[in-house]
Amino acid sequence: MSLMDHSSFISPEFLIRAATEKWELEGAARLRHQVFVEEQRIFADSDRDAIDRAAIPLVAIATLAAEPADVVGAVRIHQPSPGVWWGSRLAVAPAYRKVGRLGAELIRLAVSTANGCGCNEFNAHVQLQNVPLFRRLRWDPVAEIDLHGVPHMHMLASLSHYLPICDPAAGWSTRARRG
């Protein structure tokens, strides 16, 4: 094999799991601030709210030499009433939006985690540009709604397409797709 043969190139690996370490929680908060406050300007100072006290934070972590290195994706889930779950604040760092299907992997972990906790219904308010992704992942639109001055679609997951996960902290790894 020549040095120019890229067929054996090892693509970056990502860990998809519940955030349990302080650096993971801080990385998720930092990413959410970057996306929702600085980039999209949906919130003036902070996207943090009362839901964060009850939510389960889930993250996508880029690895370096097989060691966790940086939080590059995040979402939170919570159960406001028995069996009814919501996902919110899905964020992927700009440099990672086209690799590894990180948004889809986080959505899968979110719904599967709720399924493992006895979910009967999983909802999300999705920015309109992301509706096609959610539809591909077997979500159905319910109604359009305006949140924080931004059009969203209330969407409902088809739970039968998501296997239950009882230990989201264990998560899984995934590799980036080649460009």
Q: Give the span between the Cα atoms of 128 and 151, in whole angstroms.
A: 6
Q: How many CB atoms lie within 10 A of CB 1?
A: 7
DSSP H or E segment with residue 104: helix 102-116
Six-digit token string for 101: 């299907």
Domains of the chain and any CATH numbers: 13-173 (3.40.630.30)
pLDDT(17) > 90:
yes
In the predicted model, what is the mean pLDDT of residues 98-121?
93
Model pLDDT, residue 177: 60
Model pLDDT, residue 65: 67
27-49 per-position pLDDT tens digit: 999 999 999 999 999 999 999 99
In the predicted model, what is the mean pLDDT of residues 115-120?
97
Question: Residue for token digits 């972590």?
Answer: 61
Percentage of residues in the chain having pLDDT higher than 70: 88
Per-residue pLDDT band at 64 (split at 50, 70, 90) = confident
Model pLDDT, residue 69: 83
Residue 139: alpha-carbon gap to chain centroid? 15
Q: What is the dihedral of CA 93, 20, 18, 67, to 10 degrees?
A: 60
- Beta-strand runs (E) in the chain: 13-18, 56-64, 67-81, 84-92, 121-127, 139-147, 150-157, 172-175
Per-residue pLDDT band at 175 (split at 50, 70, 90) = confident
Model pLDDT, residue 71: 96
Spatial contact of 107 and 137, defined as CB atoms under 8 Å apart: yes
Q: Give the span between the Cα atoms of 78 and 156, in whole angstroms.
A: 15
